Homo-oligomer: A and B are copies of this chain.
Amino acid sequence: MKELQERIRQEGLILSDTVLKVDSFLNHQVDTKLALAIGQEFKRIFAGKTITKVLTIEASGIQFAMAAGIALDVPFVYAKKKKAVTLSESVYSAPVHSFTRQETYQVSISQKYLGPDDNVLIVDDFLATGAALVGLVDIVRESGATLAGVGCVIEKSFQEGRGLLEAKGVQVHSLARIASMSPGHVDFIEDEELARV
């Protein structure tokens, strides 16, 4: 997605070879127009599937799940990162380790909102280690739902996330795939640009 790549080049802050900050337009301050365009791009890519529900994880996936939900005209569900006091009924859950926050948390989804009748598109802001997305894939399979694929806004292709997901037989599409980066410079992989499932 050219517009996204341009914004990453213009506004992304590359703090090291692995840390990219995009919080001026994607995951702290959010450009709502760009987020909607990202939703439309997920719709285009997954046009061959009949998605019934979009799934993501709180917090930074929510704006893109909402955008995809708007584009596809379906509801979305966001997994919670900790079992809250009011989330009392039966849940699907998986442990996820966050390398950014250096902690392991439980991801959970009420069993009421995912089941065998669903065809699920998982979306998230970043694909890096893949830890959170692997947890969501496991939850979708546990629920008996069909997994249409995973759509990510930005992929750090030099990390292991895509490999872990593909090893599970999951179709992965990212709108901006970063081959490598360093302060002041970012190289994108272009081959996903025209992809469509």
Contacts and interface: CB of A to CB of B under 8 A. Distances in A.
Given A59-B58, A101-B84, A66 B32 contact: yes
Contacts of A36: 70
**What is the copy number of this chain in the assembly?**
2
Interface string A17-38: 0010101110011111101100
A46 interface: no
Contacts of A87: 23, 28
Given A58-B59, A87-B23, A100-B84, A28 B70 contact: no
Contact of A66 (B24, B63, B74): B63
Contact of A86 (B21, B70, B110): B21
Interface string A69-101: 110011111101010111110000000000011
Interface in A1-52: 15, 19, 21, 23-25, 28-33, 35-36
Contacts of A15: 86, 88
Given A29-B113, A59-B80, A82-B101, 18 more contacts: A15-B86, A21-B86, A24-B112, A24-B113, A28-B110, A30-B66, A30-B76, A30-B77, A30-B78, A32-B66, A32-B74, A33-B73, A36-B70, A58-B58, A62-B66, A66-B66, A66-B67, A84-B101
